[in-house]
């Protein structure tokens, strides 16, 4: 029997990097524009810390720091997923290796797996511009239930294979595995 492995599809995660760089670019543009417009007036004016300019400066600094943190939070984990060749689901004769949430690695022997369950989860987001605009995203989750412990959930939305491919590869090693939520 041959082994199998599934990794992240790199093109599916590029929008997160673009959005993260947009946040960082927007902050850098605003800071550069503010320094160009204001120049050195803050050093010349000699205002105290209780002036309205100091409070506004603190608020802008806080907002920009939040945007920098959001940009880095989008860029760094996504770059790790794209550049480092991590196997999200891999199997061989000995067992199944999966990476769960926060890229934590789990290894199970084939005899420890009780059943699989396939779930589609829809997340709804209401647009702030209109009361009727609703955006939805669909995530595909594959919980693996073990005999002795809790289940491990793997997000298979952005993997390089479909759920049918993953289940077919697992069924090569466990032909009688029960898969809930999937009509195969």
Long-range CB contacts for residues 75-83, cutoff 8 Å, separation at least 24 = 75/16, 75/17, 75/20, 75/21, 75/24, 78/13, 78/16, 78/17, 78/20, 79/17, 81/8, 81/13, 82/8, 82/10, 82/13, 82/14, 82/17
Residue 75 within a domain: yes
Q: Model pTM greater than 0.85? A: no
Mean pLDDT across 71-100: 87
Last residue of a domain, one of 54, 83, 112: 83
Residues 125 and 153 both lie in one domain: yes
Among 28, 62, 83, residue at a domain's last position = 83
Residue 148 — very low, low, confident or very high, per pLDDT cuts 50/70/90?
Answer: confident
Report whether pLDDT(68) > 60: yes
What was the pLDDT predicted at 44? 45
Domain end position, chosen among 24, 53, 83? 83
Residue range(s) defining the domain that contains residue 62? 11-83
Overall average pLDDT of the 73-99 stretch = 87
For residue 38, tell me if it sits in a domain: yes
């Amino acid at each position: 029997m041959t082994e199998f492995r599934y990794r992240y599809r790199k093109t599916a995660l590029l929008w997160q990097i673009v959005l993260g760089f947009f946040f960082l670019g927007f902050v850098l543009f605003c800071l550069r524009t503010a320094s160009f417009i204001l120049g050195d007036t803050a050093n010349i004016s000699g205002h105290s810390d209780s002036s309205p300019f100091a409070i506004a400066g603190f608020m802008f600094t806080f907002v920009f720091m939040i945007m920098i943190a959001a940009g880095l939070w989008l860029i760094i984990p996504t770059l790790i997923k794209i550049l480092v060749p991590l196997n999200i689901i891999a199997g061989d004769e000995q067992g199944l290796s999966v990476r769960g949430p926060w890229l934590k690695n789990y290894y199970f022997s084939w005899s420890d797996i009780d059943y699989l369950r396939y779930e589609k989860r829809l997340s709804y987001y209401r647009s702030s511009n209109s009361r009727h605009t609703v955006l939805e995203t669909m995530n595909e989750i594959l919980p693996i239930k073990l005999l002795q412990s809790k289940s491990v959930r793997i997000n298979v939305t952005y993997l390089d294979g479909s759920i049918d491919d993953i289940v077919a590869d697992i069924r090569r090693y466990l032909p009688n595995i029960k898969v809930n939520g999937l009509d195969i």
